[in-house]
Structure 1
């Protein structure tokens, strides 16, 4: 089996990213779910880099593609759509929270002004 440059370079970089995830988790910057997701992602990328032909051929066979490259690209595009979907929902949730916070602050300020008018 011929070992190509990316087969040792990608796992080495993935190890750095794994360490970064663990460090951010221990510092409290990300939660356990994000940490586990990041670890699984980088482990998957490492395994795919180490055994590219075996995994991509098996993946293509399972999905019914004739070409292993098409199977990996199709899966990657699907993953990107999923991440975009998740980011959209996070944005919507943050927008709602910001609207609620703005309304609560405006109401609080209004009530404070009304209270000051009554006291005068």
Structure 2
């Protein structure tokens, strides 16, 4: 089995990213779900780089798509849209929390100003 250059470089980058993800989790920056998601993502990238033909043919057969490259593109797009959706939900939740906090703070400031008068 002849390895291409990317089949060596991509797993090294993937393993480095996994180590960074685990360090980030230990530092309290990632939740367990986020850590597991990124570790599984990078492991998938590593496996796909090492045995690309077997994985792409399996996925194309599983999804019923003729061309194995189209199967990978389809899965990549689906994953991208999922990540985009999760980011959108998180931003929306943060906006609501910020709005609630600003309202609460404004009401407390107004109470203090009325009390001091």
Q: Normalising by structure 2, report the TM-score.
A: 0.96
Q: How far did 1:113 drift?
A: 0.7
Structure 1 gaps of 5+ residues are: none
Query: Whose radius of gyration is greater, 1 or 2?
Result: 1
Match in the other structure for 2:101: 101
Match in the other structure for 2:66: 66
The CA distance in 1 between the partners of 2:58 and 2:80, in whole Å, is: 21
The CA distance in 2 between the partners of 1:84 and 1:71, in whole Å, is: 20
Deviations 1:87-115 (A, max 9, x none): 11111101100100000000000000111
The CA distance in 1 between the partners of 2:83 and 2:52, in whole Å, is: 23
Pairwise CA RMSD: 0.8
Aligned residue runs from structure 1 range 1-120, under 5 A:
1-117=1-117
Q: Normalising by structure 1, report the TM-score.
A: 0.94
Structure 2 gaps of 5+ residues are: none
Q: Aligned residues, how many?
A: 117
Q: After TM superposition, where is structure 1 displaced by more than 2 Å over at least 4 residues in a row?
A: none
